[in-house]
């Protein structure tokens, strides 16, 4: 049985890929295994001392009996001490492994392109950080647990051979047969576990979606929402029940075989006692060993089952641990952003025939009706989406399959605000210098900003306040290219005017999606790009066309550019 298990573990592909995490805590795993072995030696000594006591000739005096009792107390104390120490090493290992996996997982996911990241729901990532990560921990730890139980079995086998080699041979034969039991149930067990992990991820997505819609759900009839939640929860629990029932069945099969082994050994001991071929002390010690031996085999088989069942989660986690190396060090923005024959198709929506050039330090306003493709165009430039065909180049370097390589920042209309204070939100947890932020706040001198600064948690800020936080963050980051999607839509006239004044003074390349067609807004831009039905209908050079007859003619298509 030992050779079978070790050989199969050595072939595990996931085991090879997880080798880094095993090696990081090898000393903890080694101590856990060694201490477990010492614990079993102490436990075996207790059984052996029982034999010595029962077979002892008490007519030889009490002094040796006292010595046996003392050794028994020492052995039992050492057994408890070593087992406790082994468990402590196990928890230390789990802590270190958990932190290492979470650190690498977080780092890996945030190295991905936005396109790859957005391919999964947020609930799926939450499930990966909890369920799949837990499976990976179990998968790695069970390797050490299996080795520990093997060592404990070897120790007990040695004691059994010393007591009676015939019983040891019978046990060894039954144990060898027991080694093949997991191969019957493990494939199905692993499949059920994988299905349950998928169900958990799906439930997390649905629950997050429903909780995010609290305001709407709380004022609506609840029956339909209850049904959606219950059906998803029921599906998740059914998958868990399938896995749990089959796991219990697998354990019962293994346990039944072990009890058969126990009964066979018990009958053999009875026969040897009847024939007076073993002493009463040897029989007692053997029964003691058998009771613990069976448990160790059960633990070993259970550990092996857990290892195989958790492999699906470990393999799934490996996908998320893969880093995206296409993100290079940022370079300065030197020339222009070019779109050449760019097309983008998704379901019924289509962007086509995009041929645009955005020059360095110029400002562009993209206008058009809702659904015309304005925001999609920004996402293509930001590298958040990949074009179906054509080329997007920044400083002559293609963006296909990699992120922009220049300091570029996209600010959405509903930008994320972290559940923390103003300074952590704007500096991105001190990624950017707080001293520079003080200068920006002094320049803006807004009462609303002063109120936000004093709040410990700004996640409950209004739409306008959240947009203000995002814009101040953009000012601090100081990217050379700004992609702004309705940046002032939620701001009042006073704050929007101040932010426009700041933007007007910036020597940056600015590309803004806007529905504000007033002269005050559009006059800040060098060029106006009109989009309609996924195409660029026309462009306006504002310096050339404001006030001209041609401009007044085209302004009708814009819906009026009134002062």
Specify the DSSP element, H or E, that contains 553.
helix 549-558
Half-sphere exposure of 467 (CA within 13 A, CB side): 18
Give the Cα separation of 382 and 385 in Å (integer). 8
Q: Report long-range pairs for 470-475 (Cβ below 8 Å, ≥24 apart).
A: 470/411, 470/412, 470/415, 470/417, 471/411, 471/499, 472/426, 472/437, 472/440, 472/441, 472/444, 473/411, 473/415, 473/425, 473/426, 473/428, 474/409, 474/411, 475/440, 475/502
pLDDT along the chain (563 residues), means of 10: 37 56 81 90 89 86 89 94 92 89 87 81 84 85 83 84 82 69 75 85 84 71 81 90 88 76 82 88 83 74 75 82 63 83 89 91 91 91 88 79 66 85 87 84 80 86 87 88 91 87 89 87 89 87 61 54 43
pLDDT tens across 514-539, in order?
988 887 888 889 998 989 888 998 88
Give the Cα separation of 511 and 525 in Å (integer). 9
Give the Cα separation of 9 and 146 in Å (integer). 10
Single pTM value for the model: 0.73
Residue ranges and CATH numbers for the domains of the chain are: 2-15+100-320 (1.20.1560.10), 336-558 (3.40.50.300)
Confidence at residue 364, expressed as pLDDT on a 0 to 100 scale? 95
At how many degrees (to 10) do helices 434-444 and 463-477 cross?
120
- Residue whose tokens read 């391919």: 119
User: Residue 373: exposed, middle, or buried by beta-carbon count in 10 A (0-12, 13-18, 19+)?
Assistant: buried
Both tokens assigned to 512: 């803004």
Confidence at residue 559, expressed as pLDDT on a 0 to 100 scale? 52
Give the Cα separation of 342 and 329 in Å (integer). 26
Give the Cα separation of 491 and 476 in Å (integer). 19
Strands 535-541, 527-532: pairing is antiparallel
Q: Report long-range pairs for 515-519 (Cβ below 8 Å, ≥24 apart).
A: 515/367, 515/486, 515/489, 516/488, 516/489, 517/367, 517/558, 517/559, 517/560, 517/561, 517/562, 518/561, 518/562, 518/563, 519/546, 519/561, 519/562, 519/563
Confidence at residue 237, expressed as pLDDT on a 0 to 100 scale? 92
Both tokens assigned to 377: 């165009």
Instruction: Decide: 338 and 356 in contact? Cβ < 8 Å.
Output: yes
Confidence at residue 70, expressed as pLDDT on a 0 to 100 scale? 95
Give the Cα separation of 529 and 543 in Å (integer). 14
pLDDT tens across 165-198, in order?
888 887 777 766 666 666 677 778 878 888 888 8
**Longest Cα–Cα distance in the chain:** 128
- Residue whose tokens read 């054509």: 390
List phi, psi (to 5°) of 541.
Answer: -85, 110
Both tokens assigned to 514: 């806007």
Confidence at residue 250, expressed as pLDDT on a 0 to 100 scale? 81
Confidence at residue 8, expressed as pLDDT on a 0 to 100 scale? 41
Confidence at residue 166, expressed as pLDDT on a 0 to 100 scale? 84
Both tokens assigned to 67: 């010595």
List phi, psi (to 5°) of 205.
Answer: -65, -45
Confidence at residue 359, expressed as pLDDT on a 0 to 100 scale? 93
Instruction: Decide: 50 and 162 in contact? Cβ < 8 Å.
Output: no
Q: Quick one: the chain helix, strand, coil %, rounded to 5?
A: 65, 10, 25
Instruction: Decide: 356 and 410 in contact? Cβ < 8 Å.
Output: no
């Amino acid at each position: 049985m030992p050779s079978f298990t070790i050989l199969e573990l050595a072939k595990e592909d996931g085991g090879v890929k997880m080798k880094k995490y095993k090696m990081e805590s090898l000393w903890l795993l080694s101590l856990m295994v060694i201490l477990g072995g010492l614990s079993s030696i102490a436990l075996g000594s207790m059984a052996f001392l029982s034999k010595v006591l029962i077979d002892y000739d008490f007519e030889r005096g009490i002094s040796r009996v006292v010595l046996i009792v003392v050794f028994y107390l020492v052995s039992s104390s050492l057994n408890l001490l070593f087992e406790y120490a082994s468990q402590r090493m196990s928890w230390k290992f789990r802590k270190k492994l958990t932190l290492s996996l979470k650190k690498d997982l977080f780092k890996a996911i945030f190295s991905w392109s936005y396109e790859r990241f957005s391919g999964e729901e947020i609930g799926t990532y939450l499930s990966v950080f909890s369920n799949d990560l837990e499976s990976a921990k179990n998968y790695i730890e069970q390797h050490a647990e299996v080795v520990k139980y093997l060592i404990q079995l070897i120790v007990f086998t040695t004691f059994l051979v010393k007591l009676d080699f015939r019983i040891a041979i019978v046990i060894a034969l039954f144990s060898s047969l027991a080694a093949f039991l997991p191969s019957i149930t493990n494939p199905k067990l692993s499949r059920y576990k994988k299905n349950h992990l998928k169900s958990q991820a799906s439930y997390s997505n649905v629950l997050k979606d429903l909780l995010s819609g609290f305001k709407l759900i709380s004022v609506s009839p609840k029956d339909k929402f209850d049904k959606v939640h219950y059906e998803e929860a029921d599906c998740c629990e059914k998958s868990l029940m399938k896995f749990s029932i089959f796991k219990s069945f697998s354990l019962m099969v293994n346990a039944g075989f072990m009890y058969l082994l126990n009964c066979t050994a018990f009958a053999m001991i009875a026969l040897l006692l009847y024939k007076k071929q073993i002493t009463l002390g040897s029989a007692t010690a053997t029964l003691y060993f058998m009771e613990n031996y069976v448990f160790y085999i059960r633990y070993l088989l259970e550990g092996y089952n857990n290892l195989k069942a958790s492999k699906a989660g470990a393999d799934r986690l490996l996908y998320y641990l893969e880093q995206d190396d296409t993100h290079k060090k940022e370079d300065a923005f030197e020339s222009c952003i070019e779109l050449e024959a760019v097309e983008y198709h998704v379901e019924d929506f289509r962007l086509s025939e995009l041929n645009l050039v955005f020059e360095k330090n110029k400002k562009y306003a993209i206008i058009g009706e809702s659904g015309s493709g304005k925001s999609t165009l920004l996402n293509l430039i930001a590298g958040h989406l990949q074009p179906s065909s054509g080329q997007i180049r920044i400083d002559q370097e293609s963006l296909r399959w990699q992120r922009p390589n220049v300091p570029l920042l996209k600010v959405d209309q509903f930008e994320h605000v972290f559940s923390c204070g103003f300074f952590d939100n704007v500096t991105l947890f001190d990624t950017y210098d707080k001293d520079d932020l003080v200068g920006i706040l002094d320049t803006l001198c807004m009462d609303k900003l002063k109120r936000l600064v004093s709040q410990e948690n700004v996640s409950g800020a209004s739409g306008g306040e959240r947009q203000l936080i995002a814009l101040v963050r953009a000012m601090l980051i100081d990217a050379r290219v700004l992609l702004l999607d309705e940046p002032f839509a939620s701001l009042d006239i006073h704050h929007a005017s101040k932010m426009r004044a700041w933007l007007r003074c910036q020597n940056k390349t600015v590309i803004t999606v806007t529905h504000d067609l007033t002269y005050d807004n559009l006059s800040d831009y060098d060029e106006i790009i009109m989009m309609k039905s996924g195409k660029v209908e026309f462009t306006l050079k504002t310096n050339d066309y404001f006030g001209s007859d041609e401009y007044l003619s085209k302004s009708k298509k814009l819906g009026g550019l009134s002062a």
